[in-house]
Chain A
Amino acid sequence: DIQMTQSPSSLSASVGDRVTITCRASQSIASYLNWYQHKPRTAPTLLIYSASTLQSGVPSRFSGSGSATDFTLTISSLQPEDFATYYCQESYSTSFTFGPGTKLDIK
């Protein structure tokens, strides 16, 4: 099975900061990498699919990059509504494995 790791596991930042979260796959997953945002007591939302394609309606301050095993999610200028937990997920295999998550909170 493909294993997914994320770093950091938690991050404190301020409004206006640029933030980068890293996701790594245990084997090549081409560009089958997705990013989700999850806030407590709400449904997760899709931010980025296929490593770098912004989902419709998602603000352009979110961007994704990478391929094969190494991927990044960048938020160019943090807004108050961005404080949440972020998950990567591979959709290359039929295990659809999620990363462990990165909790982003206010400094």
Chain B
Amino acid sequence: QVQLVESGGGVVQPGGSLRLSCAVSGFTFSKYGMHWVRQAPGKGLEWVAVFWFDGTTKFYGDSVKDRFTISRDNSKNTLYLQMNSLRAEDTAVYYCARMGLELGSSIDYWGQGTLVTVSS
């Protein structure tokens, strides 16, 4: 079955960096676009970034552009999110999620999330 397991969350000081990982299984990773979505405490879902299925195209939300980098290693079935210049407002649960094929580019599977806390 499809599984997405995030790791790498934790507490980091403002201005610091963190790299999240998402290990996937149960499907052919290289064929799918992959997203990162976050939810700050008490807030709604916020889309963060996507790595397209073509292996090269990436897009970012305005609030993380130029600070976060999404990448993937198809040989390791793993998605990454490198987060630099972290701010308090980046505190959130970060979800790795799969873009469904032929599902109107919706998100059909989500991981359980990893918590990132930016605090001094």
Q: What is the interface size of chain A, counting residues whose CB is below 8 A from a CB of the partner?
A: 28
Give 9 closest A-B pairs by Cβ, nearest first: A50-B104, A91-B105, A43-B110, A49-B106, A34-B106, A94-B59, A96-B47, A101-B44, A49-B104
Q: How far is the CA of A55 from the CA of B100 in the complex (A)?
A: 11
The yes or no answer to A63 lying at the interface (CB within 8 A) is no
Contact partner of A46 among B45, B46, B50, B108, CB < 8 A? Answer: B108
Residue of B nearest to A33 (CB): B104
Cβ–Cβ < 8 Å partners of A36 in chain B: 45, 107
If A32-B104, A91-B105 are given as contacts, then 13 extra A-B residue pairs at C-beta distance below 8 Å, sorted by A number, are A31-B104, A43-B95, A43-B113, A46-B108, A49-B106, A50-B104, A55-B108, A91-B106, A94-B50, A95-B59, A96-B50, A98-B46, A100-B44
Q: Mark B87-120, 1 if CB is under 8 A from A, else 0.
A: 0000000010000100111111011110000000
Q: Are B110 and A44 in contact (CB under 8 A)?
A: yes
Q: How large is the interface on B (under 10, 10 to 19, 20 to 34, 35 or more residues)?
A: 20 to 34
Cβ–Cβ < 8 Å partners of B108 in chain A: 46, 49, 55
A–B Cβ pairs within 8 angstroms, 7 of them? A43-B112, A49-B103, A53-B104, A91-B105, A91-B106, A96-B47, A100-B44
Cβ–Cβ < 8 Å partners of B100 in chain A: 46, 49
Chain A residues 70 to 107 lying within 8 A of chain B, measured CB to CB, are 85, 87, 89, 91, 94-101
Residue of A nearest to B39 (CB): A38
The yes or no answer to A3 lying at the interface (CB within 8 A) is no
Tell me the minimal C-beta distance from B59 to chain A in angstroms: 4
Q: Are B44 and A97 in contact (CB under 8 A)?
A: no
Cβ–Cβ < 8 Å partners of A49 in chain B: 100, 103-104, 106, 108
